[in-house]
Copies of this chain bind each other. A is one copy, B any other.
Amino acid sequence: MPPRESFNAYFKSAFTVDNVIFGFDEGKLKILLIRRNEEPYDNYWALPGYFVMQDEDLDAAAQRVLREMVGLENVYLEQVHTFGAPGRHDFGRVITVAYYSLVKIADVSPKASGVAQEVMWHPVQDLGELAFDHGEIVSVALNRLKRSIRTRPIGFELLPPAFTLTDLQHLYEAIWETDLEKRNFRKKILSMDLLKDLGRSQEGVAHRPAKLYSFDEDRYQALMDEGFNFELREGKRK
């Protein structure tokens, strides 16, 4: 083995994870941002992220950031892309591995901590300029999400354990920024046999209450084993 020393010059970089945390609320897709309280980008909104520890796996680091910033464990998490333009960080060469996560907004209790003065949900359609290259990261993550929800039943991660078909449809509409046709959407999603009818209905609404469903995890596993392919479509463009 060549002496480790001959490669010393390369061991001068740092890397971080940044988390695009998606939530769904008030019919809108939102992401959780923190407001920085130090330079660089003092006062800018930024993605929750931090340095990866020397002996920590990347996924674990992303999980840790989630735990520390929003107090959640075992959340849906997916690596998206790695950003490493030479000038993207003032401290030196910092490359960041971007993740996105899907959380149920009701479960989140954001805690201010350290660099995060404030933690807040922002509608994805209405983010100002973000710190560093975080605007670009969000954009890449959002595109990934739009694709992923077509072929994986991950939308449910954003909804409470019991939801209505209308909730589910609104979720897809918000993410894709399209309108879906109600009857066709229901027919399609019900035909997949992935929803458990909970046998109860909404309460406290001023109209006919909708039936509540949950995602049937076990059924999904079983279907996957026989080669089932989840797929929803955004429908014809006008």
Contact = CB atoms under 8 A, between A and B. Distances in A.
- Could you say how many copies of this chain the assembly holds? 2
Give the interface residue-count category, chain A: 35 or more
A52 B85 CA distance: 11
A83 B2 CA distance: 23
Contact of A11 (B14, B56, B57): B14
A38 interface: yes
Report whether over half of chain A's contact residues are helix, strand or loop; otherwise say mixed.
loop
A10 B51 contact: yes
B10 A11 contact: no
A191 interface: no
A41 to B, nearest CB: 10
Given A1-B40, A38-B1, A38-B2, A15 B57 contact: no
A19 to B, nearest CB: 14
Nearest to A234: B229
Given A7-B51, A11-B13, A91-B4, A57 B79 contact: no
Nearest to A83: B58
